[in-house]
A = this chain, B = another copy of it.
Amino acid sequence: MSIRFLSVSSANFTLHPQLAADTIPIGDLPLCRVLLMNNRHFPWLILVPMREGLRELFDLSDADYPAVMEEVRDTAKKFAGLTNAHKMNIAALGNIVPQLHIHIIARHTHDAAWPNPVWNTSVKPEFYASNALSHMLKKVKECLALR
């Protein structure tokens, strides 16, 4: 009951249409919606704090900031384990999509862009195959214990 009380109502929260177009929603943490980037080249989650009107990490309230960052930490650690990542890339950029969102990307030395960051590369995004997508969504949902 206390967990329920602490969690954010998503009733007034609207995901930016560009994020909605590029990703698949997996579920919600207490503060952040968890999305999977639909790009089979990189295991790539995006966390979106379910508050309206945020652009910068420092726009989060004094109470929300450490709680969101703890969700980032926990998600990154578990996703690194799930994907057997060599390195995690964690970033809040938002130059194009203004709604605050945090990238959590599992990198491998054999991936298509290594060792470069995943942005501005010549690697064209490719959707997951249907079975691979279902499998990934299920694994992440279990791993992060998402609602």
Contacts and interface: CB of A to CB of B under 8 A. Distances in A.
Contacts of A56: 76-77, 80, 87-88
A100 to B, nearest CB: 11
Contacts of A66: 66, 69-70
A117 B93 contact: yes
A57 interface: yes
Interface of A: 55-58, 65-66, 69-70, 72-73, 76-77, 80, 87-96, 107, 114-117, 119-121
A95 B116 contact: yes
B120 A90 contact: no
Give the secondary structure class of A's interface.
mixed
A93 to B, nearest CB: 5
A70 B60 CA distance: 12
A77 B65 CA distance: 13
A74 to B, nearest CB: 8
11 contacts: A56-B80, A57-B72, A58-B88, A87-B95, A89-B93, A89-B95, A90-B92, A91-B91, A116-B119, A117-B120, A120-B121
